[in-house]
Chains A and B, each alone.
Chain A
């Protein structure tokens, strides 16, 4: 039976993938329609793939109203002479030029098929881990060089070592799937496209540190991801991948996990705020120390890691620390899952070794703006990340190189703006967002952000411009130095970079 793939990813669904799948089922009841994850070439969604002896042939973007014509034209037999035909999907330059390790299965498999999962390499990492001691697993992760993908870039293995060394009857693994940054969607696509990988990664983490309970804190703005992950957890329990004797290894290793849905607070992506929220409280940031590794959820030792950090662990265990560390540059080892969004011609997921330049990502993969106008700025790393002009496009994607340039890689989101953007408005928005999302614990953040909005308004209105630019600088210093967490501490990054690189928009 011919197999046809139509993604179930929510980005694909947002442009008609469900209607495409429904129409196909009516027109060609003889084919099997598989709802895969998305390949991450989002400008081609809905991307329909036909399995043929010559590999999977892609068609896209396919609007629901195109389906009848495509089927009549021989799409289901893999006809290559149709305008929408892209040829072999895996041979497309966008795919070929990536190194997909974390995203190896996303878009390829049926996300909720346990058979697909195991036949495409799933569980190899977990089996490997269970054959080692917890301390060996931790050291493998240390040696791989994996750093947290949630933003701060802290070495994952070192964090795990601390949790392993803490003695307690109960420890937790908490996955941060709050993905609040604008321009980031890799956590969502991984969960919707290959949820078992996250489950496997969390299970390995639990084994490595001696935890028995896991929580995934998933934002409420992602209902499809919530549903997919819950379904995957059910399946994993049925398969014995989770539960009282994980993988039936007889080792007595017990682990289970559950999804907790966020409630629309950006600050709950900050790890201690997330823990408060998981405890059923307001998302007030905690002072550190104590660090969550020692006193985390309910005061017990807790691993907190981003989705991508955890989902990368299975490939590290399966293929070895060295294989992973052979990718990347400097202290940024392995691959990172970059996300191209905003005003970009070819938006989507680019998983590649660290060290690729910003320009290569935005121009070569992204193809410039979608409006066709010149690029003016890109924001890297979410709402707390810097705005960079095209002059900085030769910056390598590397934690240290970005920090040295007054910017941050963060969660790897890159948002493109064309020449119509008003950077004073974007700087104002950064303050507005901080004012709205601040947890309220410290004054520089809570009050400073409100003052920031007012100050920018005065600068733009030409009211004591020079003096107010100084006020703005002082305010940024105060927020940087006097904030408990990076919400207040990093909001100056987008603001300052906007003033520095795009001073014209502030009336100079």
Chain B
């Protein structure tokens, strides 16, 4: 259940297909290039759109089903655009031992959406992650590109407030 708000991708559909083909062509020389290609597409275009799949499959000479299978197997690959800021809260054991579940409940109430969802205004996507390797300084929360440690509910509110 992602929101209907689509933070319009700056690359329109035909341009997008051209760009996806370029990315795939550029990287196809790598051994096992599909995952690097999907990462590169997502990094530049924000997510892996359904129409990207046949383009990539064509460049790699794979079936559409194979590429589709890979895209859906890995949690990292988004099928729809994310909000402007992605807030990812660690929910693994070490962070649980210092209140990560309660912190997540607080965040969901505060933001108004659940894990894997985006707010209606397209401002925030809330995600759950299983360990950032910051287990001695939990709860760990990543806001955009930045990792934060020892995040209390008050600190999370401040971080969310900064996320425009």
CA distance A342 to B148 in the complex (A): 15
Closest to A222 in B: B133
Contact A418–B77 (Cβ < 8 Å)? no
Q: Across the interface, which residues of A come within 8 angstroms of B92, CB to CB?
A: 182-183, 383
CA distance A262 to B32 in the complex (A): 12
Q: In the complex, what residues of B have CB within 8 A of residue A220's CB?
A: 39, 76
Please, which residues of chain B bring their CB within 8 A of the CB of A185? 133-136
Complex interface: chain A residues within 8 A of B31 (CB): 278-279, 298
With a cutoff of 8 Å between Cβ atoms, the chain B residues found around residue A179 in the complex are 131, 133
A433–B130 CB distance below 8 A:
yes
Q: Report the minimum CB–CB distance from A263 to chain B (whole Å).
A: 4
Give the interface segment out of A9-17, A328-336, A478-486.
Answer: A9-17
Which of B34, B35, B38, B148 is packed against the most chain A CB atoms within 10 Å?
B35
Q: Which of A26-34, A48-56, A79-87, A280-288 contacts B (4 or more CB under 8 A)?
A: A280-288
Cα–Cα distance between A431 and B18 once the two chains are bound (Å): 44
B94 to chain A, nearest CB (A): 4
Q: Given A220-B76, A263-B76, A264-B74, A182–B39 Cβ distance below 8 Å?
A: no
* B interface footprint on A253-286 (CB within 8 Å = 1, 0 otherwise): 0000000111111100000000001111111000
Question: B135 is contacted by which of A260, A339, A417 (Cβ under 8 Å)?
Answer: A339
Question: What CA separation (Å) do A64 and B75 show in the bound complex?
Answer: 35
Of B8-16, B95-103, B105-113, B118-126, the stretch lying at the interface with chain A is B95-103
Q: For B38, what are the chain A residues with a Cβ–Cβ distance below 8 Å? A: 263
Given A43, A180, A418, A429, which contacts B136 in the complex, CB threshold below 8 Å? A43
Range of interface residues on B (Cβ < 8 Å):
35 or more
Q: Give the A-binding residues of B (Cβ under 8 A).
A: 31-36, 38-39, 60, 66, 69-70, 73-77, 92-98, 129-138, 140, 145, 147-150
Quote the shortest CB–CB distance from A95 to chain B (angstroms): 16
Contact check: which of B35, B93, B98, B137 meets A263 at CB < 8 Å? B35
Number of interchain pairs (Cβ within 8 Å): 150
State the CA gap A137–B113 with chains docked (Å).
56
| A contacts, CB < 8 Å to B | 10-11, 13-15, 42-43, 45, 179-185, 187-189, 220-223, 260-266, 277-283, 298, 339-344, 347-348, 370-371, 379, 383, 413, 415-418, 421, 426, 429, 433
Known: A265-B74, A283-B73, A429-B96. A221 touches B136 (CB 8 A): no
Whether B131 pairs with A221 at a CB distance below 8 angstroms is yes
Jot down 10 A-B pairs with beta carbons below 8 A, ordered by A. A14-B149, A185-B136, A261-B39, A265-B75, A279-B32, A280-B70, A282-B73, A342-B136, A347-B137, A418-B97
Q: Given contacts A14-B147, A263-B38, A282-B70, is CB(A182)–CB(B94) below 8 Å?
A: yes
Task: Please name all residues of chain A whose beta carbon is closer than 8 Å to the beta carbon of B77 when the two chains form the complex.
Answer: 263
Taking a contact as CB atoms under 8 Å apart, the answer to whether B132 and A221 are in contact is yes
Tell me the interface secondary structure of chain B in the complex.
loop
| Residues from chain B with Cβ under 8 Å of A339 in the complex | 135-136
B contact residues around A222 at 8 Å (CB): 132-133
B149 is contacted by which of A15, A183, A264, A383 (Cβ under 8 Å)? A15
With A10-B147, A282-B73: A340-B136 Cβ-Cβ less than 8 Å: yes
A184 to B131, CA, bound (A): 9
Contacts of B138 in A (CB 8 A): 341-342
Q: How far is the CB of A275 from chain B (nearest CB, A)?
A: 9
A152 to B95, CA, bound (A): 25
Q: Across the interface, do B97 and A347 meet the contact criterion of CB distance under 8 Å?
A: no
Contacting pair A341 B147 (CB below 8 A)? no
**Beyond known contacts A221-B131, A223-B145: 13 more, CB 8 A cutoff:** A11-B136, A14-B149, A42-B136, A43-B136, A183-B131, A189-B133, A260-B35, A280-B33, A298-B31, A298-B32, A416-B97, A417-B97, A418-B97
